[in-house]
Amino acid sequence: AAAAAAVAPPAEAPNDQAAIDLALSVAASLQKQCLAMQAEFITEDGHGVDYPALAQSDLFAAYVKSTAELAAVQPNLLPRDEKIAFFLNIYNALTIHVLATHANGAETAMQIPRFWQRFAYVIGGHAYSLDDMEHGILRANRPHPATKTHCLGKDDPKLAVALADSDVDPRIHFALVCGAKSCPPIRVYSPKNLERGLKAAAANFCSSEVTIAGHTVHLSKIFQWYASDFGKTKKEQLTHILQYLDEEKKAQLSALLQEDKFQVEYADYDWSINKK
């Protein structure tokens, strides 16, 4: 499994600020390495990864070694924006890590047994799988769209790390990459550029994944799977999406919503691995 090796805890527990500084330092170091790998092995548009070359590279070997530092991080102490940027980057990095080392000819991530549950990084002494990061932490432990259950049980210590429900930002769905061709492009986020980065990610994703023909609004499956993150009803969800659209599409969709005459169709999702 792509789990980081455990490291010995410090002799004395650091104070909160020291722990926060350590977490930010580790996050910044891994972010820098992810940016280097992105420049070398990921296409400019963020949609393709040269996994074989990445797996054989010194950059990747150094990154894998560095993930051991995550064991000393206390993510529960991170402020909201730092926590979101941290887990977006770690989620995407773990996805790339697993696909570079465990794909073994698989054409989709779903062909890798328990892809979202089996592989994990040890962060602060606890193993975080892809499901833990997305649904447990970034979605405030809201029910998984497939299983309708909570990823983190009521006694799971990782609950102390989870975002508050009011802090959940649905734009994470335009930033998390599960390794499929229909996923958003791979980007690296920092606390300072988080708002700008998520705003750009939303606009970029919706420019290609939201189309309108007559009274029919065509959406990515992501909007179906995570419908409740965008609103309680289809009208609420489409109203939420308005803010991410260019002026032309915004005017089209606004008119449909005002007339209350629209239907929604969801595009097929291409699960093929995002190989370069």
- Name the phi and psi angles at 16, rounded to 5: -55, -45
Is 4's pLDDT higher than 60? no
Residue 237: burial class (beta carbons within 10 Å; 0-12, 13-18, 19+): buried
Give per-residue pLDDT as tens, 165-211: 999 999 999 999 988 888 888 888 988 889 999 999 999 999 999 99
d(CA 149, CA 153): 9
In terms of average pLDDT, the best of 27-31, 160-164, 174-178 is: 160-164
Q: What is the dihedral of CA 137, 264, 251, 176, to 10 degrees?
A: 20
Q: Which of 161, 138, 2, 4 is nearest to 71 (CA)?
A: 4
Specify the DSSP element, H or E, that contains 122.
strand 120-123
Give per-residue pLDDT as tens, 80-135: 999 999 999 999 989 989 988 888 888 999 899 999 999 999 999 999 999 999 99
Give per-residue pLDDT as tens, 236-273: 999 999 999 999 999 999 999 999 999 999 999 989 98
Band of residue 275 on the pLDDT scale cut at 50, 70, 90: confident
Beta carbons of 209 and 175 less than 8 angstroms apart: no
Looking at the DSSP assignment, which residues form a beta bridge with residue 219?
Answer: 210, 266
Is 65's pLDDT higher than 80? yes
CA-based torsion, 167, 169, 172, 173: positive or negative: positive
Q: How many helices (H) and strands (E) does the chain have?
A: 11, 5
Beta carbons of 186 and 165 less than 8 angstroms apart: no
Q: Other C-beta atoms within 10 Å of 224: how many?
A: 15
Q: What is the CA radius of gyration of the chain?
A: 19
